[in-house]
Amino acid sequence: MVETSDIRVVRCGGSKVNLTPPIISSDSRFVLCTSGDLVKVYSTRTEEWLHSLQGHTNQVTGITLNPANHLQVYSCSVDGTVKLWDFIDGILIKTFVIGCPLFAIYVSEKHTGVLFLHVSMATDSKNECFQLVSVHLPKSAEQEVEAKEMSAVSSHISKNPSCTAFGRGGEYIAFARHLQLNVYFFRKQKTYSFSLKATDKKGAKNAFTCIACHPTDDCIATGHEDGKIRLWRNFIHKKEYTYSTQHWHHNAVNTLCFTPEGTHLLSGGIESVLVQWQYGADNRKEFLPRLGGSILHISASSDGQLFCTSHSDNKITVIESSFKVCGVIQGLVKGDAVLTDLMIDPRSKALVLNGKPGHLQFYSLLRDKHLYNLDIVQQEYIYEAGLDQFEVVKAAFDIKGSWLATVEERGKKSSDLEFFLKLWAFDERTQSFVLNTTITAAHTDRIISMCFSSSEETTMLVTAAEDSQFKAWCQGADADTQQDQNFWSCDFVGSYHKLNPTNCSFSADSSLLAVSFQEVITIWSPDTWEMLTTLCQPPGVIRDLCFGRLSCSKYLLGTTTKNLLCCWNLLTCELEWSTSVDVSKLQPDPFSENVAAFSYQSKHTDLFVFKPSEPRPLFTNKNVCSEKVHRAVFVPREEPLNSCDESTQWLNRSQLYFLTQNMDLLTFSTATEEDRMLSSSKQLVIDDSVAVTPFYLLLGKHRQQQQKLNTQSHPVSDKPQQTQGSVTIKELLHTPAHVLPAASVLCSMFVNSFLISNTGVQQDPLR
């Protein structure tokens, strides 16, 4: 395993931004949220991703503003460290090593120098038991400090971090677990417990789901599984405690949040309606409906002007206190399951997969930004449990990205199966896909596999279905339709011994089509529709099928259900080699000969990267993740790396992304790549007075340069000035028009940027 030492699995791009409550900076200009191993900083005004705080080596599980300095933020991670950041500049100030996985972080103004953390107590993962500990931060000038002074506040903490909250001024901490609410007073060092019955005659489900404490009054709001909100008061009495109950949510309350003044209580749940309760007059409430996915977290800015809600569809909504949505930060939409393959749109190089129900989403991994949703089903989606709705199950792009084929289906059982094959043409004018053809009965049974031919000249779609046929579809071949537009129609129907096809694939030059029928692979010539040969390597049904690329295009790879990976040489029609490995996903890299195979055995997934020409893997990574991997894709890099190391060479031209079963998008990063990113983020040291906006980058850098010019008596060399000038122009051209300063300002600067080279020239004679 020496090879894999500098390649690491990272969460980079498309990660969940809704894992923890987002926080708004005290000046309401930035929203910070955790995203995989990073903490991302967004602007509240423009919704743009400004920069990220990079340094954790595992999932970041909690962030909170430093109560002593509102420009700093603490973050905790499963890697066992708490890091203190200057989030405006993106500088790591300090690292506190705690030493065990951390799951949530809380701070309070009253307890300076103390952090409250959720740590996992149990050794076995089955019986999860969390503990709330307080950690005293040692005062030390060093960058990395070990914090060892820990004391337990309470064991038996719910694993849900929203079930813990600090009360008025940090006097007490309230935490709930199952049916019990506990309030721990720091001064008295005493815990008061209040229990509810699990159910009552009316069928209430009383388990606690979230907690919030009023900032100035001694009032604890708790949310419950059946949608009730209780406001607890007088909780220093064992018996005379009292609570009032409000009920609007029809399902569990996911989150509660008091506004900083304490005048309102915000609540949210699966209804995706933000409810604002007036504190004290509980019947008065306001609603903000139709926010998208169910609300998971709510946070409010310290001045109460902005609220942030994070949603289950990986989205953060920024809401003004007047209950108007003023910004949406959309991450990679993660539904319940991704049914389509992961694909790359050849035009925009965006990742394409299932997004909102009935949609395909286009997500730019390079900019880590959601681009747009394409409505495939074009039907109103009704939110109701158990309702059978149309879902996009298959999608494929042709090689140029001008055609998109989708299959949507409904009906779990085959008896009430309903599906459509749709073909979408790319419209240059609108820069999006337009529906060209809808084929209602493409096959008589479910479509199993679908692929476009990869030749540049003719586009052809092949679909294989459970009705033991495969069909080839061509554009404009049908003479019946007397129209100018080119619609798609069936060109050829093929079958083999009435066997059900399992997969189909075109070779790299589209001269061959391989269709697997159970144990048999048939090779067809798409030009003549003649079956050339059959390949058979029993036992086991063929699961995955792919041709080799570039120099290895004479090889055909196949995986079977009986844990066999086979490689045939198509020139000799013989089995070149085979190996026994349970491959769950076989993914060829379109830009190299490499093929990635994910194998799942004994509860973890291993990755092998190999060339079809030789059975020896180029790269192996054991224990990539603990779940089965079914979806993976090679994403082309914007600029190729030039690593010579054999083990990292395969990542030079493209990056491998894969999706685990609990919808984590993971990728591999090399050490050199990380170094480069780290160094680029370190450079970004800017004075506190100005925020990092493109506007600032444009003007601020220029000013710095001017200052430098003014102070430095000796002339600077020619070369950096030229790059500086080009940077200004580049920034000018790349910045969105609406954030640019007035043209009059830009004009002189634009001209100035040309003038700089002149000063260099002018200074020459001086020298």
Partner 1 sequence: MGEFKVHRVRFFDYMPSGIRALAFNRDIERIAVARMDGSVEVFHCSDRFFQEKIIPGREQCGIEGLSWVGERLFSAGLNGGITEYDLTNQKVKYTVDAYGGPIWTIAGNQQGTHLAVGCEDGTVKLFEVNEDKIQFERNLDRQKSRIISLSWHPSGSKIAAGMMDMIQIFNVETGHSVHRLLADRGVGTSRSKECVVWSVVYLSDGTIISGDSVGMVKLWDDQTGTLIKSHNVTKCDVITSYLIVPLEWQNEDSLVAGTSEGTVVQFQFISMVLGKDDKEWVRTRTFKNHTHDIRAVAEITTAVVSGGMDAQLVVRPLLDKVEVRSAASALRKIHFPHRRLVSCARKSGLMLFQYPGHLELWRLGESEGKGSSLFVKRNPEKLLHLKVKGEDHIRCSAVSPCGEWIVYSTASSLRLYRLHCDNNNVSITKISKLPMVLSSANQLCFSSDSSHLFSASTQSSVHLVSLSQSGCKFVGTLKPKSGSHQAIHLLAASEDGKWLASANSDHEVHIYNLQTRKAHCTVPVYSSAVTAMGIHPTTNCLFMMYADQQMCEYSIEQKQYTDWSRMVQRKGLHRFWMERDTPCLNVMFNPQHPSHVILHDTYMLCIIDQSLPLPDDKTQFYNQLTLKSLPEEQRKSHSHAFKVCKTFKDILCVELMSDQSLVVVERPLEDVASQLPAPIKQKKFAT
Interface ranges with partner 1 (CB under 8 A):
168, 216-219, 233-237, 239-245, 250, 280-284
Q: Using the minimum distance from each CB to partner 1, give the nearer residue, 236 or 490.
A: 236
3-state SS class at 266: strand
User: Which helix (H) or strand (E) segment is 81 a member of?
Assistant: strand 81-86
| CA proximity to 194, closest of 205, 211, 208, 179 | 179
From residue 141, alpha-carbon distances to 80, 95, 137, 146 in Å are 20, 11, 12, 12
Q: Using the minimum distance from each CB to partner 1, give the nearer residue, 197 or 738.
A: 197
- Owner of token pair 């694993």: 159
Q: Using the minimum distance from each CB to partner 1, give the nearer residue, 281 or 737.
A: 281
Q: Using the minimum distance from each CB to partner 1, give the nearer residue, 188 or 400.
A: 188
Tell me how far, at minimum, the Cβ of 233 lies from partner 1, in Å. 5
Q: How many residues does the structure list for the chain?
A: 767
Q: Using the minimum distance from each CB to partner 1, give the nearer residue, 168 or 205.
A: 168
Tell me how far, at minimum, the Cβ of 13 lies from partner 1, in Å. 42
Q: Using the minimum distance from each CB to partner 1, give the nearer residue, 158 or 246.
A: 246
Tell me how far, at minimum, the Cβ of 378 lies from partner 1, in Å. 29
Positive or negative torsion for Cα 233, 235, 239, 243: positive
Q: Using the minimum distance from each CB to partner 1, give the nearer residue, 239 or 603.
A: 239
Tell me how far, at minimum, the Cβ of 380 lies from partner 1, in Å. 20
Phi, psi for residue 475 in degrees, rounded to 5:
-90, 130
Q: Using the minimum distance from each CB to partner 1, give the nearer residue, 206 or 463.
A: 206
Tell me how far, at minimum, the Cβ of 388 lies from partner 1, in Å. 21
Rounded distance between C-alpha atoms, residue 614 and residue 399, angstroms: 27
Rounded distance between C-alpha atoms, residue 426 and residue 588, angstroms: 25
- Owner of token pair 């009920």: 247
Cβ atoms 83, 96 nearer than 8 A: yes
Tell me how far, at minimum, the Cβ of 379 lies from partner 1, in Å. 24
Q: Using the minimum distance from each CB to partner 1, give the nearer residue, 48 or 282.
A: 282
The structure tokens listed for 192 are: 């008061």
Tell me how far, at minimum, the Cβ of 184 lies from partner 1, in Å. 14
Tell me how far, at minimum, the Cβ of 240 lies from partner 1, in Å. 5
Helix, strand, coil: what percent of the chain each, to 5?
A: 10, 45, 45
Which residues, in sequence order, are bridge partners of residue 470?
Answer: 464, 494
Tell me how far, at minimum, the Cβ of 187 lies from partner 1, in Å. 10
**DSSP code at position 3:** G
Determine the distance from the C-alpha atom of residue 273 to the mean position of all C-alpha atoms in its chain, rounded to a whole number.
23
Tell me how far, at minimum, the Cβ of 168 lies from partner 1, in Å. 7
All residues at 6 or more sequence positions from 557 whose CB lies less than 8 Å from its CB, including other chains: 544, 545, 546, 547, 548, 565, 566, 567, 568, 586, 588, 595, 612
Helix axes 743-766, 694-711, angle to 10 degrees: 30
Cβ atoms 633, 312 nearer than 8 A: no
3-state SS class at 731: helix
Rounded distance between C-alpha atoms, residue 16 and residue 8, angstroms: 19
Q: Using the minimum distance from each CB to partner 1, give the nearer residue, 233 or 604.
A: 233
Q: Using the minimum distance from each CB to partner 1, give the nearer residue, 36 or 170.
A: 170
- Owner of token pair 């011994």: 497
Tell me how far, at minimum, the Cβ of 214 lies from partner 1, in Å. 9
Q: Using the minimum distance from each CB to partner 1, give the nearer residue, 155 or 245.
A: 245
Tell me how far, at minimum, the Cβ of 465 lies from partner 1, in Å. 41
Rounded distance between C-alpha atoms, residue 212 and residue 221, angstroms: 5
Cβ atoms 452, 405 nearer than 8 A: yes
133: amino acid identity, one letter: V
Q: Using the minimum distance from each CB to partner 1, give the nearer residue, 283 or 414.
A: 283
**DSSP code at position 159:** S
407: amino acid identity, one letter: V
Phi, psi for residue 724 in degrees, rounded to 5:
-60, -45
Tell me how far, at minimum, the Cβ of 287 lies from partner 1, in Å. 15
Cβ atoms 79, 97 nearer than 8 A: no
Q: Using the minimum distance from each CB to partner 1, give the nearer residue, 101 or 215.
A: 215
Phi, psi for residue 616 in degrees, rounded to 5:
-90, 130
Tell me how far, at minimum, the Cβ of 282 lies from partner 1, in Å. 6
